[in-house]
Structure 1
Amino acid sequence: MARQQRKRQISCHFCRMRKLRCNREFPCSNCTSRGVACPEPQHAATSDASAVRPAPAKKPVRPNTGDPDIQNRLERLEGLLQGLSRQLESVPELAAAQPPMASFAAPPFAPPPPPPPPPPPVFAAPVVAPSQAQAQTQTQTQTHPQTHPHHHLQAHHLQQPLPLKIQDLTNNALLVEEYCIVSKTSNSIFSDHVIFRACPIRSITQLSSFTFQSPGFSSSIALTAEPTRCIWLPNRDEADALVQKYMADISPMHHFIHGPHLRRLVTELYASLKSGSQVPVGTVVLLLAICAIVTYSWTPHDDEKKLFQDSKEANSQTLIWVKILFNLLEICQRNDHSSIECVQGLTLLTTTLFNLEGISPTARAMLARAIFLSRELGLHRIDHPDTDSFCQKYPPLTRLTAEVGRRLWWHLVGVDWMLARFPGPQEGTYLVNPNQMAVRKPANINDEDLDEDREIVDKPMDQPTIMSYSLHRIRFLELFREFTDRTTFSKPSSASQQYDTVLQMDAAIDRFMAHEASPFFRIDVKELEKLPPDDPWRSPTAIINRYMYSFYLYSQCCRLHLPYLARGTVDPAYAHSRQACLRSARIITQRVQQLVKEEVGFAHMMLRLGVAMHGLFLATIALVFDLCLTNDVADDGSRQQEVEHAWRTLENAEVQSSTVARGMNILRHIMEKYKIPFPTGVSGHHEPIQTNGHTNYIPQGQIPADAMGMPAGMPLAKPHHTEQEIEGHISKMDLEDVDWERLCWEFDAPFI
């Protein structure tokens, strides 16, 4: 009989070492009572396969789907997964960085974390987005706050996701509320019909703005006894010439229209006119606004285009296009029309009105309407992380239209913040709160680099593009908005506090020019001339951007210190303001002299631009009054030449701009009253201050009737400053104790 093989020991290691009786269950009773680890021996199995048989596998128990508890847990799990996926989709950086189940990184130089506690039940804790969890981890590591347990329960209760049924019910309830409160205008009540036709641009003034449709006219509008509004557009080749002029000479000053896209829109517009199909109204609004601003900016240098007989005829059409645009915008408001092109047209109309009237109530109303329509389109939250809500409430945006929307929105925001710096009802206030918008800054790229099929690659700020001036202007206006926020109406500040704010603003501007502004804005003219002619820094767009930057920046510096110019001549505490004001004024006059030598259309158009002329006007005021307040025989010759050159430039601009003409009349009144000598070789004669509104806004000739029910010469708005008001303010001033704040208001009055 063969000897049986001895069974192997299966007692644990601790029991064998201590000669204890092991119950051979791991962990055994001996190890458990002593708190000793009890690993299972690796040789527990015998060599006899039949001695130890595997336990039969248990049949999986299929859960009863009818159990309400299991059903609720499944719904909550689905809600958790759906909420987590939405959070990851809204933050693409998190989704691309690591998978959702990856552990969150600990703060730098943090000690190793303790062993994790036993996992809680599946639904015991809410799921938190990776960004929120990381922020919570860092906050707890740095501060270790002692929080009451009730606060943990409250946060847990707020973050606990709801089942899908409850989420859908809540969303539907909110949707019902939105439908009850927010509604679209009923087109059947307020809508008005309009037709569009094209004709030669020089015949616009002779055509009627109403027409009766004949039965043979192909249109969906039924024949009625009432006349139908007719909007006349220039012919296709003339429209292309106007668009080319706008993109080359005007758009670099405020670039929020994509050039290639604009040309495609014009092509589609005239194709619709030719085929008799529905015309895109937003494109018509934009084209009419381009017609208005281009005819206003038309100079003798542009007569070679043969579009008009001369620049006088082109300038005389500006108000006609403005009135046509007003009529179409009224129809758009009745029909509840909103589009990016419509907002772009409103923005251009606002710019034209600023040049025509100054900062008038009409211009401010158009700006407010443009901001309102931008919000209707969702331009104030293009980059909001909640993309689902954006797609449900606002029209969809492509990559191209989203970037154009960023350009347009930031331009409107900049104008809104800029107006808070000027006197008037809007002084110290603005419409757009930076905390109530979610829009990135536009990219520093040219239009050729912006396409639907390519990713947007932002260029360095030292590389000049079509957006260079706009981006610097945004940053500069952000500085002014920060100081505007410091001024409160309820607590007026003292004179010393106001001057401290002026010095702080001056220091912020100096830091901006020294460290934040692009190098090609600060380059010296002699260094610029050494560059090759085809260098991007010498392109026409870069030239316009550079001069607009100088005019705007230094005019604001000059105006900031102008109220303290006289004090700086007698009080050393204000000497810095006098030096800063005169330095800015001299830079402006030098830039004007340099611009005259440039062979660009902007040099001829400068005399009709409010921004450039306002800066030159302030510079002339500073130089003239400093020449009268101080006697520096050694330097009088050069100072006299500066004043003469600036004065002659303003005299030439009087013929081109009614705002400059009114400002020069006020300046001559003041100089005559206080016996201030006029610059040598210039005329001190002034015309009576006009009080008949805007009849003389196009000084080259009377405005013909445009067959819109408004006779020729009808004022566009009421006058803002009558002769009696201006004379009253002037009579209250004493040269020995001049109220320089009031004086600055008088000088700004023609531009407001």
Structure 2
Amino acid sequence: MPSQGSMRPANPLKRPRQDPVSCQFCRSKKLKCDRQQPCSNCATRGLLCHGPPLSQSRATPLPEDANNASILARLKRLEDIVIGSSGQAAPDVPSALPTRANSTLACLSPASEYEEALHNLEETATGEENWIPSGTRDLEFQILSAQQMSHAPGVYQSLSAKLPHFQSPLKSVFLPPKDEASRLLDYYVKYVDELQHVVFMPQVRKLMDTLYANVDQGLPVGPSHVALVLTILASSASLSYHHSGDGVILFPPSVAVHASLVWANSALEVLEYSRRTTAGGLEDVQASILMAFLLFHVEGFSSRSRRLFAGAISTARDIGMHRLDATPGQSADSKKSVDPVDVEIQRRVWWHVVATDWLLGLCGGPQEGTYFVQPNHFRVNLPRNIDDKGLIYGRSLVEEPLSKPTTMSYYIQRIKLADICRRVVDLMPLSGVSTSVDYQQIIALDAKFQAFFDELPTFLKVDEKSRHETEEIMCHSPQLKIQRYALGMIARTRRCKLHQPFLIRRSVESHYTYSRDISINSARCVIRLKRQVEKELDSVYVVNVKLHGVVYHVFMATIVLVMDLCFNKNEGNDDVRKSEVAEACTILEEAASQSCLAREFLQSLMDIMRKHKVHLHHQSGEAAEDPHPGQGLPGSEIPDIAKVTEPEETRLLHSFFPPQDNSQNYLSDFDAIWKDYVELGPNMDVPEWDNLFSELTQGSQIP
């Protein structure tokens, strides 16, 4: 009689494992999943929906031969992992950056099931059950033209009719009519998007259509969608105030200024509302990036813009963007359910955040010497070198070689530059002056900068020969003009930052000559690039507004040239060096009529110079005893713009945009100050110069 045991399962106490019915995101956040692919929760947040399709929820048992084949396949994959059969990193990608995986390992083993269960249990406490109800800060959206909005405060607060017994405040956010919004979006695509390309325009246009349709019908709208649209509108209006584009004036200047201020204020309000009431999504990250970029251009890398950027990183992590290509429990089948276009857009956004973070680590300010994102703490493939027109839903993505210009050419090189900056941050101590760092390590890092310049595609190089060879390319891809100058200035300023601690020590330690030569040549190149970009672009206004970072880079180049002139006086060619300083000052003077940042740079420069004169050794006794040290100094009669009384409306406008008619008065005695500075500078000791450089760069950065 045959044994009954042969008819039983191997382990009768082990019940078959029930397949999950909800996607991974809904399970981890304790949300109700509609079990679609993708589900509504993931779709509204722009997330990848990881979970088995319904059609595969009850898989047919495999026959014995197929089961054996499956086991052998799993063993082969494990052998490949242990032996390390993956290919080497591509030669054109820095070793610290990830290479693109050729395949995704299917999570089929019991160990992976255990890891998935453990991961879900650990995330139980991160659910989205809000203690504060979202209705306590309700928003409503109204349509109001830019002309009508000239008398509107931006976010209007009243008492909600929905909850009269609670007297809950109702905030009204004003959107322009759809035709105005469409014109502003077209303007954004043509003139603003080229330096902060973190949105996919077909998606944005579809999002805008849905947003306006829902507002017209009184249906709910996603706050992150509204925030993204408002940020784009504010960015377009802010630039159109200075530059009308193809000669078509979108709005009168005063209307454009006020509209930009209203939309920016509204976008900040809606972003905060979204942060407090939702789990966040891709649009929250995009809106935060664009708003931080806009705020930088009108107020510098202020604490507000820094918080926005930090919020973008936090939200990106919350929605799992840092694990985009290594999600626990993600199978090959579940990845196939997500369109490659959506994955690629998220890769672009994530790497834009990471590159900005690393670049800011090598930039003056409170964040200098630090960064948020560790390279070992995320797994996201590098974005592909592919044009936006190649991103077509339902089709495979075909990547172009790096030698071919695309929408992503600039951003891929920006990532490589950021990786070098991260290495510099890791080496340089936070204590400032580095006497403990091996100088050979500085030379090795400088070699990486040089290799970066040498390996750039020809269309992103700024030398005369490369510019001449790529004239035809610029006709087809005009955005590359401004991108190559932006990349060149950012890279050279960061290279100066590497050598800055050793520049002024050249006068006492001759073996730092290399640092002095690199710093001076990089600073001179920044000045040349500024003049060259003026020739290639259509107006100085566009140069200083679109490339607002130009002001910062020229400012840093000026400091390097002045420090060298004052400390390394035995280098000769004093007349030439003084003329270089004068030219740099002239650039700042020209920009001051259009850029509030330029004016702030000049003001801080003059304030610091006055401040540090108290340390000069040959200052007269009368001056030292003067109870009003600011009086009688060259340039002391220059007015303090921050103290000028203005009407409330003018003050609000100037908080985002400066007036354009006072540069001559503001810089009336600038030459006298520089003359005094150059004459007295050599009497300051090295630590005082370090303090001067540190204070000048505080709060003056480009992302």
Inter-CA distance 271–686: structure 2 relative to 1 (3 Å threshold): farther
2:265 to 315, 323, 333: 323
Q: Where in structure 2 are the equivalents of 1:488-503 lying within 5 Å? A: 495-497=435-437, 499-503=439-443
Shift of 1:546: 0.6
> Aligned residue for 1:3?
none
CA distance in 2, matches of 1:390, 1:183: 28
CA distance in 2, matches of 1:511, 1:575: 20
Does the Cα contact within 8 Å between 2:489 and 2:550 map onto a contact in 1?
yes
Shift of 1:363: 1.9
> Aligned residue for 1:529?
468
Does the Cα contact within 8 Å between 1:559 and 1:618 map onto a contact in 2?
no
1:422 to 363, 366, 369: 363
1:266 to 205, 208, 211: 208
Shift of 1:670: 5.5
Shift of 1:426: 2.6
Letter in 1 for 2:370: T
Of 317-326 and 366-375, deviating more is 317-326
> Aligned residue for 1:547?
485
1:31-88 CA-to-partner distances (Å, cap 9, x unmatched) read xxxxxxxxxxxxxxxxxxxxxxxxxxxxxx9774675564559999999xxxxxxxxx
Inter-CA distance 700–668: structure 2 relative to 1 (3 Å threshold): farther
Shift of 1:367: 1.3
Inter-CA distance 684–131: structure 2 relative to 1 (3 Å threshold): farther
> Aligned residue for 1:572?
510
Inter-CA distance 77–667: structure 2 relative to 1 (3 Å threshold): closer
CA distance in 1, matches of 2:111, 2:303: 53
Higher relative contact order (CA 8 A, sep 6+): 2
1:456 to 397, 405, 425: 397
2:423 is the counterpart of 1:482 = yes
**Consecutive unaligned residues in structure 1, runs of 5 or more:** 1-60, 80-88, 91-121, 140-158, 216-220, 677-682, 707-729
Give the secondary-structure state (helix, strand or coil) at the position aligned to 1:566.
helix
1:553-609 CA-to-partner distances (Å, cap 9, x unmatched) read 111122332343333345421111111111111111111111111235796142464
Shift of 1:374: 1.0
Give the secondary-structure state (helix, strand or coil) at the position aligned to 1:655.
coil
Shift of 1:748: 0.7
Of 612-621 and 424-433, deviating more is 424-433
Letter in 1 for 2:156: F
> Aligned residue for 1:643?
581
Letter in 2 for 1:204: M
Does the Cα contact within 8 Å between 2:567 and 2:682 map onto a contact in 1?
no
1:245-267 CA-to-partner distances (Å, cap 9, x unmatched) read 22222222121111222222222
Inter-CA distance 588–466: structure 2 relative to 1 (3 Å threshold): same
> Aligned residue for 2:90?
none
1:511 to 451, 462, 467: 451
> Aligned residue for 1:435?
376
> Aligned residue for 1:11?
none
CA RMSD of aligned residues (A): 4.4
CA distance in 1, matches of 2:75, 2:541: 56
Inter-CA distance 639–177: structure 2 relative to 1 (3 Å threshold): closer
Inter-CA distance 566–633: structure 2 relative to 1 (3 Å threshold): closer
1:215-270 CA-to-partner distances (Å, cap 9, x unmatched) read 9xxxxx57776552110012222212222222222222121111222222222222
> Aligned residue for 2:528?
590
2:141 is the counterpart of 1:196 = yes
> Aligned residue for 2:683?
735
Of 68-77 and 411-420, deviating more is 68-77
Shift of 1:536: 4.7
2:414 to 473, 476, 490: 473
Letter in 2 for 1:738: V
2:246 is the counterpart of 1:307 = no
Give the secondary-structure state (helix, strand or coil) at the position aligned to 1:345.
helix
Does the Cα contact within 8 Å between 1:464 and 1:537 map onto a contact in 2?
no
Inter-CA distance 457–496: structure 2 relative to 1 (3 Å threshold): same
Of 476-485 and 624-633, deviating more is 624-633
CA distance in 1, matches of 2:111, 2:576: 81
Inter-CA distance 487–476: structure 2 relative to 1 (3 Å threshold): same
2:700 is the counterpart of 1:751 = yes
> Aligned residue for 2:23?
none
CA distance in 1, matches of 2:405, 2:637: 43
CA distance in 2, matches of 1:263, 1:735: 60
CA distance in 1, matches of 2:160, 2:433: 68
1:286 to 228, 246, 269: 228
> Aligned residue for 1:218?
none
CA distance in 1, matches of 2:448, 2:560: 22
Give the secondary-structure state (helix, strand or coil) at the position aligned to 1:232.
strand
Give the secondary-structure state (helix, strand or coil) at the position aligned to 2:445.
helix
Shift of 1:641: 4.2
CA distance in 2, matches of 1:580, 1:745: 20
CA distance in 2, matches of 1:277, 1:65: 62
Shift of 1:471: 0.9
Shift of 1:287: 1.3
Letter in 2 for 1:477: A
> Aligned residue for 2:638?
687
Q: Where in structure 2 are the equivalents of 1:337-486 lying within 5 Å? A: 337-384=279-326, 386=328, 388=330, 398-486=339-427
Give the secondary-structure state (helix, strand or coil) at the position aligned to 2:683.
coil
Does the Cα contact within 8 Å between 1:357 and 1:751 map onto a contact in 2?
no
CA distance in 2, matches of 1:572, 1:531: 41
Letter in 2 for 1:134: D
> Aligned residue for 2:198?
256
Letter in 2 for 1:403: E
Does the Cα contact within 8 Å between 1:654 and 1:661 map onto a contact in 2?
yes
2:237 to 295, 302, 308: 295
Does the Cα contact within 8 Å between 2:291 and 2:308 map onto a contact in 1?
yes
Larger Rg: 1
Of 465-474 and 203-212, deviating more is 203-212
> Aligned residue for 1:53?
none
Give the secondary-structure state (helix, strand or coil) at the position aligned to 1:497.
coil
1:131 to 54, 57, 77: 77
Shift of 1:387: 5.1
Report how many residues are paired: 587
Of 382-391 and 331-340, deviating more is 382-391
CA distance in 1, matches of 2:636, 2:546: 22
Letter in 2 for 1:525: E
Give the secondary-structure state (helix, strand or coil) at the position aligned to 2:698.
helix
2:218 is the counterpart of 1:276 = yes
Letter in 2 for 1:464: P
Give me the TM-score of the superposition, normalised by structure 2: 0.72
Shift of 1:539: 2.8
Give the secondary-structure state (helix, strand or coil) at the position aligned to 1:751.
coil
Shift of 1:294: 2.9
Shift of 1:658: 2.5
Q: Where in structure 2 are the equivalents of 1:95-134 lying within 5 Å? A: 128-134=74-80
CA distance in 1, matches of 2:609, 2:8: 91
Inter-CA distance 177–615: structure 2 relative to 1 (3 Å threshold): closer
Shift of 1:663: 1.8
Shift of 1:407: 0.8
